[in-house]
Every structure is written in C-alpha cells, then in structure tokens.
Structure 1
C-alpha cells in the first residue's frame, strides 16, 4: 500500500518574494481595499504597529522567512516523496461563478499554468509574480491514478467531492499550486501533482473547520488504501492570517497541530477565516490527515506591512514519519 511519509504547511504570500524594502509600499497600496472589506480591525496599537514597521525588523523577518522556506524544502526532500498531494484554494483561477465547488479533485493527466501576466497584479508584486506564473504556458504533470482513487474513496466515505479531468478553457492552474513548484521547490525536477481545491474564500459553501477535519481524516484513509508502493507527501498551501494578522489565531493553530488536537482544529472560529485567513482551512485538513506523524513548527513570522496591521502571518510546519 501507499505510504504517507509526511508533509508540510507553508505560506505562499508575495511578501516571501518581495524584498523587505517593498513590504511597506505593498501594504500602503492595499489600504483602500482593506477599508472596503470591512474586516475586524487589528488588536495592536498604533505605536506597536509603528515598531513592527522598523526597516531593520522587517529585514530580519524577511531573512527568517527565507531560512524557514529552505528548512521546509529540505525536510520535504528528506521524505523522498514520489508524488505530492497539495491542498490549496482556487482564487477564481480555474473556477468562477459558473461553478464553485466546496471541494474538487483533478484526475486528468496534466494541468497548465496559463499565465495571466502582470497586468492583473499590483506593481508591488513584480518580483513575486515569477514565483506564481511562468512567462509562457507551462504544463504540470499530475497523477490521474491517485487522483481517481482519492475521488472514489472520499465519495465512498461520504465526502461529496467534485471532480474533473479537463481544464476549463482560458483558465489557469492557481498560484496555491504553482508556488509549491516555482518557489518552494525552485529549480528541482517536478514531482507529479494531485491538486485538491478547497473553496476557502467564497461564500456560501466554504467547508467549516469541522468539515475540514473530516475531509482530512477521510483523505488519510484514502491515501493509506491506495494500492501502490509510492511515497506520498501532503502539503497545505497558503495562510496564515492575512491581510490583517491575528497572531493569537495563528499561534493557536500551530499549537493544535503540534498536539494533533483535532477537536481544537474543528472549533477554530469561522469568523476568523475570511479573505486570505480562510486558507487556514487547508492546514486544518492536512493536520487532521497527519495522525501518528510527528509535527513541528519550523517557524512563525508575523510579517507586518502597514500601520493598519496588515501583512501575513507566515507559517512553516512539517510532519515526518519516524525514521523518514
């Protein structure tokens, strides 16, 4: 049978690929949008936030993020996986309002990065864009046998998974998935991918934290039952809290993952899982799948970028089978 050898949770924020001198400009650019979103305000004081934006502190945090990415990458490589199952969210890249499944698995033979170009992104993301998209169409090999197996087993277990084998015309594989290859595993031969898309962002059919736990548990059973000798790594892409950083929520999540406390994961507050913070749902599902595999926080870096408390709670977490 297949072997789930471990995996990781990793942020994919553009700040990871923007020099720290550009963090403040990126934060300033989003102030109008933040006002429109009506998100709960930061709990940090104005004075505290000014301190968080000290250029030396931002530079130190940028460097800490690079070290954490490298450690996460190396620990994943040490697992010697044959295939990557990545749980990420689709941000109107493959799915639009014509269909927005709560959970979907692709089991065709390949998916393409069909780059939208920088025109769709703020200019402050210029250095980050190449870690989301190629310059020309770029094909990612997928594992249709494992993908189909996961669909069949999840449905058998009562998880109503959507599925597809053909890429919608003029739509692209999302950055939650391309980032894993273009940034985390930059320059390395690509392992086959099984992409699992959770609708974390868009009401009204986002899976609840409790449902994410159930999905993760059934996903683990499905991987364990796959009649293959392949080594499988499972990755949660995205998060943690953003655009408004909530350090308490982030640290509580990481502590629950270390304890394998699925009850705490299931009870995370839905009201805290909006906008980018909604990607924590991907981590909940992966954490629930990792029973019996020791996990640890590689690092947590609250990367502030504005006096409104915006930025990204950068999370890096790994699981590894004993002896892997």
Structure 2
C-alpha cells in the first residue's frame, strides 16, 4: 500500500515575498476605516481594532529591522522544510489547499480532487493585475512562474482517492479530470492558487513530483465545511491513500494561515500546541467565527492534522513568525510545521 512519509504545513502569505519597506502599501490600506477586519470572532473597523489592542503597543514591532528579521527567519524555516521534503524522497504529493476563484468560479464545491496527468501554472495577465488590491502583484514572483509551466499530476491515484472518499468515507467530492478553467475568456484563465504555487516554488523547488491537488473550500462560507468536517476529511484522505495498491511514498502538504489579516499570537500558539499534541477535540471545536478572512485557511491545516493523526505522524513546529504591518496588528502570521 502507499505510505505517507511526511507532512508539511507552510505559510503562503504574499507578505513573505514583499520587501519590508513595501509592507506599508498594504498597511495604509488596512488603516482606512470602512474595511472590516476580523478580530476575536468579530468584525471591527480599524479604529476599533486599534483601540482594542492599544495596550499591546504594537507600534514597537513595526521597525524595518524587526520586519526584515521576521522575513529572514521565515525563509530559514522554508529552507528547512525544503530540505526535509527532499530527504523524504516522496513519489507523490497530495496538496490539501484552498481556492480563491482561480480553480473554481461559478461552481464552488466543498471538497474536490483534481485527478489529471498535468497541472498548468500561469502568470497573471496585465488585465488580472489591474484588478488586484494594492501591494499584491509585487509578490506574484513567490508563487507564479514568469512563463506558463506544466507540472506532473497523478490521474490514476487521484481518481482512486476521490472514489474512496465518496464510496467508503461518504464525502461528496467534485472530481476534476483537468484543472477547471474558462478557456474562451483569457481574463478568467488563471494559474494555480498561491496555496499550490507557493509550494511549487518554495518547498518543492526543483524537486516537483507528481501531485494531486485536494481542495477544501475555506473562503466561501455558504458551503464551507466546519472544522470538525475538515478533520474527518483529512482522516479519510489518509485512509484513501493507504488503500492504494502501489507502494508510493506520499507527502501531504498544506499552506495558508495562520491568523490574518489580523495577527493573533495567542490564537496561533493555541492552534500550534493542538497540532503538536494531536488535540483532535480542540481542532474540531474551533467555531466558524474564528475561521474568517485569511484565518479560514486554517481549515486546510485542520484537514492535514486529521490526515497526519491517521498516518501516525507527529507535528514539529519548525518556526513561527509574525509579519505585523500596523499598530492594530494587521498583517500575517507565519507557521512552518513538519510531521514525521
């Protein structure tokens, strides 16, 4: 049977590939009242967020040296994750990621598997860049290629995983035999979301192996599965992988989170402790109002934690950094975790 030999969880925020001096592009936008920000399960305007966090004195962590140090340490951690990936020598990678309307548009499944022999990643068009919020396109080099690239997939194993998830585990998954795309409208022709592209460029690098994208709908709340369902889904993914008749070595990778677009170190620390302790009860019980905005990507991590628990792999926090860009604590937190 196939065997899971490694798990990796890695932040993928565009802020990692934005120079420290350019963080203020997004910071100035954050400070504009009228843009709601999620903090402690509630939506706040920036002025209210600033008042709620005034005693933390976050103005003391906004200096360029602090910013650069957080970036430097983050990339040291990514180097370590890449090293472990290479040492594990996986034959197949299952990526538990999340889409932001670059794979799906009008139809958004709660869970999906892309089972294809090839995965194409594309740079953005000038029209697509023109529609982005300020400060996003300058980080595209962290997850998108300069020219179209084709990566290998694993159609047969992907179909097997989807079939087992439906027949054995009772999950209604969408099965895609190619990456869904709108081929007659180039403005809607996207590459892979940064949840996937970041792994190609930063963790796998020149060791890209056949992959199976397994998508969890984290962002679109109308049919986004709760934390408990995500954990069960991850367990079912491991069972499906281990029922494959081949002897492939499999790595399960995920990206995103932790708290953003408002950093909450206390929440992050509790989450990371739960990962290290295999605390299924904690992870399953996280309420939806704590998994909003970018923090919703933690659902991919929760699914991966379920997969790792079933595979009997233990989590190690390689590093944790906060990329804070305003006095209100907006920005991104970055976790780097390996299961072995």
TM-score, normalized by length of structure 2? 0.88
Q: Which residue of 2 aligns with 1:295?
A: 315
Query: How many residues matched?
Result: 317
Q: Which residue of 2 aligns with 1:92?
A: 101
Q: CA deviation at 1:106?
A: 0.6
Q: Is 1:19 the equivalent of 2:19? A: yes
Q: CA deviation at 1:46?
A: 6.3
Deviates more, 1:16-25 or 1:236-245: 16-25
CA contact (8 A) 2:262 2:332 kept: yes
Equivalent position to 1:192, from 194, 210, 233:
210
Q: Which residue of 1 aligns with 2:154?
A: 143
Cα distance between partner residues in 1 of 2:190 and 2:17: 24
CA contact (8 A) 1:24 1:53 kept: no
Cα distance change on mapping 1:49 and 1:266 into 2, 3 Å: same
Q: CA deviation at 1:155?
A: 0.5
CA contact (8 A) 2:25 2:134 kept: no
SS of the counterpart of 2:199? helix
Cα distance between partner residues in 1 of 2:99 and 2:231: 19
CA contact (8 A) 2:113 2:176 kept: yes
CA contact (8 A) 1:27 1:305 kept: yes
* Equivalent residue runs for 1:34-183 within 5 Å: 35-40=34-39, 41=44, 42=49, 43-45=52-54, 48-96=57-105, 98-117=106-125, 118-122=129-133, 124-156=135-167, 157-166=169-178, 167-169=180-182, 170-183=189-202
Q: CA deviation at 1:263?
A: 1.0
Q: Is 1:234 the equivalent of 2:274? A: no
Query: Where does the alignment leave 5 or more consecutive residues of structure 2 unmatched?
Result: 183-188
Cα distance change on mapping 1:126 and 1:205 into 2, 3 Å: closer
Cα distance change on mapping 1:172 and 1:55 into 2, 3 Å: closer
SS of the counterpart of 2:130? helix
User: 4+ residue stretches of structure 1 with deviation over 6 A?
Assistant: none
Q: CA deviation at 1:198?
A: 0.9
Q: CA deviation at 1:38?
A: 4.6
- Provide Cα deviations, 1:132-190, integer angstroms capped at 9, x if missing partner: 2222322221111111011011102111111111332234322211110122233x132
SS of the counterpart of 1:36? coil
Query: Where does the alignment leave 5 or more consecutive residues of structure 1 unmatched?
Result: none
Cα distance between partner residues in 2 of 1:128 and 1:316: 19
Deviates more, 1:122-131 or 1:50-59: 122-131
Q: CA deviation at 1:279?
A: 0.2
TM-score, normalized by length of structure 1? 0.92
Cα distance between partner residues in 2 of 1:99 and 1:39: 26
Cα distance between partner residues in 2 of 1:123 and 1:189: 33
Cα distance between partner residues in 2 of 1:299 and 1:11: 11
Cα distance change on mapping 1:68 and 1:165 into 2, 3 Å: same
Deviates more, 1:22-31 or 1:7-16: 22-31
- Provide Cα deviations, 1:77-104, integer angstroms capped at 9, x if missing partner: 22111111111110010111x2010111
Cα distance change on mapping 1:171 and 1:20 into 2, 3 Å: closer
Cα distance between partner residues in 2 of 1:125 and 1:92: 16
CA contact (8 A) 2:112 2:174 kept: yes
Q: CA deviation at 1:14?
A: 1.1
| RMSD value, Cα | 1.7
Cα distance between partner residues in 2 of 1:38 and 1:305: 14
Q: Is 1:264 the equivalent of 2:245? A: no
SS of the counterpart of 2:104? coil
Q: Is 1:252 the equivalent of 2:251? A: no
Cα distance between partner residues in 1 of 2:248 and 2:131: 39
Q: CA deviation at 1:123?
A: 5.2
Q: CA deviation at 1:125?
A: 3.7
